[in-house]
A and B are shown apart, each in its own frame.
Chain A
Amino acid sequence: MNDKLTLKKDHLPAFLRKLSKDYRLVAPIKNRHGDTIFTRIDSSNSASLDLDNQPQNSIKQFMLPQREVLFSYHAKTETGYEFNPTDQINEPTIFFGVRSCDLSAILYMDVTFLQGITDSHYLEKRTNSVFIGLNCNQPFANCFCNATKSGPFLEFGADLQFTDIGDRFLVEVGRSKGIKIVEKWGHFFSAAEEKENKQQYQAFLEARGSFTRLVHVDQAIKRLQENSVPEKVWNQLSLRCQDCGGCAYICPTCTCFTITDCPLTKNTGERIRSWDACTFSGFTRMTGGHNPVSKKTEAIRQRFMHKLCYDVKKHGRPSCVGCGRCVDICFGGTDILRFINLACEGS
């Protein structure tokens, strides 16, 4: 089913209401403080759906929660430790309004958590997820997904892909879960006409031409591969890094985590997985005190090498999706845009 469909914007609330009968629905919602955040939609907030602003969070927190109980343990005197997987409540979930960068990030997380050793916690959430993407007609101030080749329009990865073409959305059907939705709620959709297909292409052309930032990701990758980024760049960035970890927490593709055992009583406890950041000195410090990444410059180097060099080598593409969130959150001015600009200086 490759034909394109359309859905009138007037019918979007009704469509979402129908979807929420079968699924938990997560979408960008503007809260009462004016922040747009991916939140679960219910009857109380469905009116605040906000497709005009970039959500401050990404989908990461739903796939890899900030804090997740992996299993609980019980130490018994006769039989030793007994481990019990925690009951995961993973309702089938539709993520609506996911922009190209965030969807690309999910595809990257799939590689991390599903290739080789499969992470069962991730897999379960992933199989229960349906993604309805939204192509970006107007990139935001810090966006550079064109340079990381993860937007502004996405051609694969979503179950349904929406494009805003004025009073309606052009809908492309991707994977089988998308087909199921379109079949069940067929009366919301009409077949797209030639004119509407052209409108979509026009929107793509305009979006591609409206990035405000010129970011030379390829050039920075090349310089990292050649090991020709001047030492003073690393020094300058490391002096300014405030070690808050904000970049890693907000990044849709940063998946580093730490494991802690949390005792609940004398004999019982839980093993917890929580977000971590490679810029923390404690991330690499060993029990004896030795730290292979001892200097701040090394930690910063590791971060950008991983995103722009190691992942290119391993997967053929950088793991930065150009969403620009770290540019907003970093208050030291050591975000990836700054790095790329500094690394390209004088080239």
Chain B
Amino acid sequence: MAGLATTFGSGAMTNSINEIENAQVILVSGSNTTEAHPQIARRMLDAVDRGAKLIVIDPRKTLLAEFADIHLDIRPGTDIPLLNAMMRIILDENLVDDLFIEMRTENYYQLRDMLYRLDLDEAAKTTGVELSKIYKAAQLYAQAQKSVICYCLGITQHICGTRNVQSLANLAMMTGNVEKGDTGVDPLRGQNNVQGACDMGALPNVFPSYQPVGNIDFREKFEAAWKVNLPSKSGCTLMEMTHSGKDGPIRAMYIMGENPMLSDPVLSKVEETLRNLEFLAVADIFLTETAKLAHVVFPAASFAEKTGTFTNTERRVQMVRPAIAPIGNCRTDADIISALALRLGYAMDYDSPAEIMEEIAMLAPIYGGMQHDRLEACWGLQWPCWDRSHPGTQFLHKYYFTRGKGHFVPTEHEPPSEMPDKKYPFLLITGRIYHHYHTGTMTRKSSTLNRECNEALLQINQVDADQLKVRNGETLKVTSRRGEIKLTAEISEQVKPGSVYTTFHFAEAPINLLCIDTWDPLANCPEYKVCAVKVTKP
């Protein structure tokens, strides 16, 4: 979010999913696309079938990497030196789009000066990738007329997450691969509606449609509509809320559809924080680890039981309609919030989700023309959609960047906050698998999905397995400076020697007991992707 907002002015996929099919070069960074975004991976593979070149940046040999023309298997956390090296090569080879830089961007010379100071051999050494491969990737990306970048949490869940994103944006702007179709910088969103949650102001510093709370005009607009006084200061970020400990500033919390007791780093700290709240209410469709700590639990309706909209990763707002009647006593989240607000003395007088959407259209300019009747008539609309005659926006930043001019932000390498050492010699990478979603509150209830995968596996290279005398399927103890858990060994060529990999879906092996509680200072995104562990036989 923060990375693209500072460079382009808008923190969303610049282009659309279908455009990926038409790109000539696809650069995928920090995304296990076939497992986490199979529908998008399908487009990438279709593009490859049609002759597009695929560059994958990933420390692991993922399934997508098997299809790649170039797989840059970097050391985790060295994205910036890699991207800087690519940009330096583009500069040296004179593949820079000078006219685009001149017309549409600013601050380029600062980036160029920094790149001229870069030692390519040293950068290659830092990343652990041969320089010749980096050369080939840089040339491929810059020489094509239409190159697209897709990235995911492998880029953002680092201490330098925001600056990783800025580096990708630099690369795209330097070669003019943005502001037009079949190009762009596309963050792949992790949940079906995380884009919508951000759009609706579920961020500490903005009202819906990214209107800053600090701006008095915006504040007055919302105060007039909602007839309440609104704060002018930003609220807390997630990590400030769930990691403040016993004496944190927050006394009560209302958590909807989120399971921080499994998903957040350093679970012991989360538990301490939540247990010390004066009041905790949780709304979810099942009794989650977090809900078990709550004073009040609201049974919420699932996606299949309600009317409303989801906003997907390509900014497309789509209708969702009930397929079944709500089961038991559950109610929709909107219903629960309205009932709660009424008892707290504020009447939310909405007859239907359509009425709420009308209010959104009035107050959130990027949703200006999105009423239910319009959304029902098509496969959704992509924001910005300013009014009822607007057809929606396939790709952003046409004619000019949202912030005016695209801003180059030169960045330099920042090592992860914890690297392997003698005591904790392995580097732990965490991620997701195909068969489970997030903390498994839903997917772990499906017998078919559980049959496919019902335990957390620790991927470990054959070389390390031999050294530890470990066989496939053996139980291993994984210890970090923060805790220990037991996992089942899976010997795999996907990870390099010295690295191990596992997933965070399983409550019985909560990997976030191990993860480090450092985070990106700009976006407050935790550094899930790198920490040091030791692996032993129990």
Interface residues of A (CB under 8 A from B): 33, 239-240, 242-245, 258, 260, 276, 280-282, 285, 289, 331-333
Q: Are B321 and A33 in contact (CB under 8 A)?
A: yes
In the complex the two chains form, is A332's CB within 8 Å of B434's CB? no
Complex CA–CA separation, A332 to B34 (angstroms): 9
**Contact between chains at A280 and B66 (CB < 8 Å):** no
Counting from the closest, the 9 A-B pairs by CB-CB distance are A282-B451, A242-B38, A331-B42, A282-B452, A280-B452, A331-B39, A281-B452, A240-B45, A239-B66
Chain A residue numbers with a CB within 8 Å of B18 are none
A289→B63 CA distance, assembly (Å): 23
Give the residues in chain B near A240, CB-CB below 8 Å. 45
Q: Is B63 in contact with A239, judged by CB distance below 8 angstroms?
A: yes
Q: Is the CB of A280 within 8 A of B451?
A: yes
- How far is the CB of B377 from the nearest CB of chain A, in Å? 11
- 25 pairs from A and B in contact (CB 8 Å cutoff): A33-B321, A239-B63, A239-B66, A239-B67, A242-B34, A242-B41, A242-B42, A242-B434, A243-B434, A244-B38, A245-B448, A258-B448, A276-B448, A280-B448, A280-B451, A281-B452, A282-B448, A282-B451, A285-B451, A289-B473, A331-B39, A331-B42, A332-B38, A332-B45, A333-B46
Residue on A nearest B319 in the bound complex, by CB: A33
Given contacts A239-B63, A331-B38, 10 further A-B contacts (CB under 8 A): A239-B67, A242-B38, A242-B42, A243-B434, A243-B452, A245-B448, A260-B447, A289-B473, A331-B42, A333-B42
Residues of B within 8 A of A332 (CB): 38, 42, 45
Give the CA-CA distance A163 to B45 in the complex, in Å: 41
Chain B 46-68 per-residue mask, 1 if CB under 8 angstroms from chain A, else 0 = 10010000000000000100110
Please give, as numbers and ranges, the residues of chain A lying within 8 Å of B38 by CB-CB distance: 242, 244, 331-332
B372 to chain A, nearest CB (A): 14
Q: How far is the CB of A9 from chain B (nearest CB, A)?
A: 30
For the complex, what is the distance from the CA of A285 to the CA of B473, rounded to whole Å? 14
A333 and B67 alpha carbons, distance in the complex (Å): 14
Q: CB-CB < 8 A to A276: which residues of B?
A: 448
- Least distance between B324 CB and chain A CB atoms (Å): 14
Question: Chain A binding site: helix, strand, loop or mixed by DSSP?
Answer: loop
How many Å from the CB of B95 to the closest CB on chain A?
Answer: 32
B472 nearest in chain A by CB position: A289
Inside 8 A of A33's CB, which chain B residues have their CB? 321
Q: Which of A33, A243, A244, A245 has the most CB of B within 10 A?
A: A243
Min CB–CB distance B458 → chain A (angstroms): 16
Min distance, Cβ B292 to any Cβ of chain A, angstroms: 23
Q: Which of B49, B447, B448, B452 has the most CB of A within 10 A?
A: B448
Set of chain B residues within 8 Å of A289, measured between Cβ atoms? 473
Chain A neighbourhood of B67, CB < 8 A: 239
* Measured CA separation A326–B253 after assembly (Å): 46
Closest A-chain residue to B321, C-beta based?
A33
Chain A's closest residue to B43 (CB) is: A331
A240 to B42 Cα, complex, angstroms: 8
Contact check, B45 vs A333: say whether CB atoms are below 8 A apart: yes
Q: CA separation between A204 and B384, bound complex, in Å?
A: 51
- Specify the chain A residue showing the minimal Cβ separation from B63: A239
Closest residue of chain B to A240, judged by CB?
A: B45
Complex CA–CA separation, A344 to B133 (angstroms): 36
Beta-carbon contacts under 8 Å, B58-81 to A: 63, 66-67
- Closest Cβ–Cβ distance, residue A296 to chain B (whole Å): 10
What are the residues of chain A within 8 A of B34 when measuring CB–CB?
242
| C-alpha gap A260/B42 in the complex (Å) | 33
Task: For the complex formed, measure the closest distance between the CB of A113 and the CB atoms of chain B, giving whole angstroms.
Answer: 22
* Distance between A167 CB and nearest chain B CB, rounded to angstroms: 33
Q: Once bound together, how far apart are the Cα atoms of A285 and B453, in whole Å?
A: 11
Contacts of A333 in B (CB 8 A): 42, 45-46, 49
Q: For the complex, what is the distance from the CA of A229 to the CA of B451, rounded to whole Å?
A: 31
CA distance A260 to B452 in the complex (A): 15
Query: In the complex, which residues of chain A have a beta carbon less than 8 angstroms from the beta carbon of B434?
Result: 242-243
Assembled-state Cα–Cα distance A281/B454 (Å): 12
The CB with the most chain A CB atoms within 10 A, among B34, B434, B473, is that of B34
Residue of B at shortest CB range from A283? B451
Q: Tell me the minimal C-beta distance from B193 to chain A in angstroms.
A: 20
- Report the minimum CB–CB distance from B334 to chain A (whole Å): 22
Determine the chain A residues whose CB is within 8 A of the CB of B447 once the complex forms.
Answer: 260
Distance between Cα atoms of A260 and B38 in the complex (Å): 29
With both chains docked as a complex, state the minimum distance between the C-beta of A33 and any C-beta of chain B, in angstroms: 7
Closest CB-CB distance, A301 to chain B, in whole Å?
Answer: 19
Contacts of B41 in A (CB 8 A): 242
A285: which B residues are within 8 A, CB to CB? 451
Tell me the nearest residue of chain A to B42, going by C-beta: A331
Determine the chain B residues whose CB is within 8 A of the CB of A245 once the complex forms: 448
- Residues of B close to A281: CB separation below 8 A: 452
* Least CB distance, A258 to chain B, in whole angstroms: 8
- In the complex, A326 Cα to B38 Cα: how many Å? 17
Q: Which B residue's beta carbon lies closest to that of A244?
A: B38
B430-454: CB near A (< 8 Å → 1, else 0) gives: 0000110000000000011001100
Q: Residue on A with the closest CB to B447? A: A260
In whole angstroms, how far apart are the Cα atoms of A242 and B38 in the complex? 7
Please indicate the chain B residues that have their CB under 8 angstroms from the CB of A280 in the complex: 448, 451-452
In the complex, what distance in Å separates the CA atom of A294 from the CA atom of B67? Answer: 22
Q: Which residues of B contact A239 (CB under 8 A)?
A: 63, 66-67
CA distance A289 to B67 in the complex (A): 30
> What is the CA–CA distance of A239 and B67 in the complex, to the nearest angstrom?
9
| Cα distance A289–B448 in the bound complex, in angstroms | 16
- For the complex formed, measure the closest distance between the CB of A183 and the CB atoms of chain B, giving whole angstroms: 41
CA A333 to CA B21, docked complex, whole Å: 14
- Please indicate the chain B residues that have their CB under 8 angstroms from the CB of A242 in the complex: 34, 38, 41-42, 434
Give the docked Cα–Cα distance between A289 and B455 (Å).
13
Expressed in whole angstroms, the minimum distance between the Cβ of A278 and any Cβ of chain B is: 13
Bound form: Cα–Cα A280–B38 in Å: 17
A242-B473 Cα distance, complex, nearest whole Å? 24
A289 to B488, CA, bound (A): 13
Q: How distant is the Cα of A209 from the Cα of B404 in the complex, in angstroms?
A: 58
User: Which residue of chain B has the shortest Cβ distance to A235 in the bound complex?
Assistant: B66
Proximity string of chain B (27-49) to chain A, C-beta cutoff 8 Å, 1 when within and 0 when not: 00000001000110110011001
Give chain B nearest CB distance to A67 CB in angstroms.
11
Shortest CB-to-CB span from B502 to chain A, Å, is 19
CB of B454 to closest CB in A, whole Å: 9
* Minimum CB distance partner of A32 in chain B: B321
A280 to B453, CA, bound (A): 10
CB closest chain-B residue, reference A272: B447
Q: How distant is the Cα of A244 from the Cα of B35 in the complex, in angstroms?
A: 11
- A322–B452 Cα distance when bound, in Å, is 29
